Amino acid sequence: MKYRILHYGEEPLKKVSEPVNDIDNDIKILVKDMFETMYAANGVGLAAPQIGKNIRVVVIDCGDDPLAMINPSIIKKKGKEKGPEGCLSFPGLSENVIRATNVVAEYIDPEDGELYEVEAEGLLARAIQHEIDHLNGIVFVDRMPEARRSQIKNELDIIKRGGSLRSETEEEEETDDSLFEAR
């Protein structure tokens, strides 16, 4: 089932999410639905708060192996880089954000319930940091300098009202099923 993705300003995006204590069939179905929702929106990551569920569940697919993470946490960070970042909860907005270049994250796999570590760099490292921020009630614009947030206030207000910064052409392309190939 595809969920509606919440926009900036909606309350669940600012709440700290609760840990998942039991990986039952409902959690497995939620993970499947989150992947479906993320792919339909042409995203690379989605956190449960973005669909109104304040639990610590994240899905990511940067083009290699899809990754579903229950109760993820970053245990090591290395390096720093400024790079472009977007978010499904901020349609059409892309801004530079400083993130660690390399991370090691710990998480529970929803399929087998086992604890794993993933070492990541590049886009995957950025996506893991971004999605874990969502679980902590932090959105990527919170990582930007206050001066830059003031400069894009009008754009943020449009998104807060449920709008998008994408052109009509971009939105039409998004609904073209041929663009949603499995990664």
Q: Look at residue 2 and tell me if it is in a domain.
A: no
Q: Which of 18, 131, 174, 181 is catalytic?
A: 131
Backbone angles phi, psi at 158, to 5 degrees: -60, -45
pLDDT tens digits, the chain, 183 residues: what are they? 999 999 999 999 999 999 999 999 999 999 999 999 999 999 999 999 999 999 999 999 999 899 999 999 999 999 999 999 999 999 999 999 999 999 999 999 999 999 999 999 999 999 999 999 999 999 999 999 999 999 999 999 999 998 888 765 444 444 433 333 333
Report how far residue 12's alpha carbon sits from residue 135's, in angstroms, rounded to the nearest whole number: 10
Q: Look at residue 87 and tell me if it is in a domain.
A: yes
- Residue 50 makes CB contacts below 8 A (sequence gap 6+) with 5, 6, 12, 13, 88, 89, 134
Q: Look at residue 1 and tell me if it is in a domain.
A: no
Q: What is the dihedral of CA 111, 61, 13, 95, to 10 degrees?
A: 160
Q: Look at residue 66 and tell me if it is in a domain.
A: yes
CATH of the domain at 101: 3.90.45.10
Question: What residue ranges in the chain does DSSP mark as E strands?
Answer: 45-47, 57-60, 67-78, 81-86, 94-99, 102-108, 115-121
Q: Look at residue 136 and tell me if it is in a domain.
A: yes
What's residue 174's pLDDT? 44
DSSP state of 154: H
Length of the chain counted residue by residue: 183
Q: Look at residue 3 and tell me if it is in a domain.
A: no
Q: Look at residue 69 and tell me if it is in a domain.
A: yes
Please state the domain count of the chain: 1
Q: Do residues 159 and 6 touch, judged by C-beta distance below 8 A?
A: no
pTM for this model (two decimals): 0.89
Q: Look at residue 6 and tell me if it is in a domain.
A: no
Q: Which domain, by its residues, includes 62?
A: 11-179
Active-site annotation holds for 121: no
Query: 107 to each of 14, 45, 67, 91, 157, how far by Cα in Å?
Result: 22, 15, 10, 28, 35
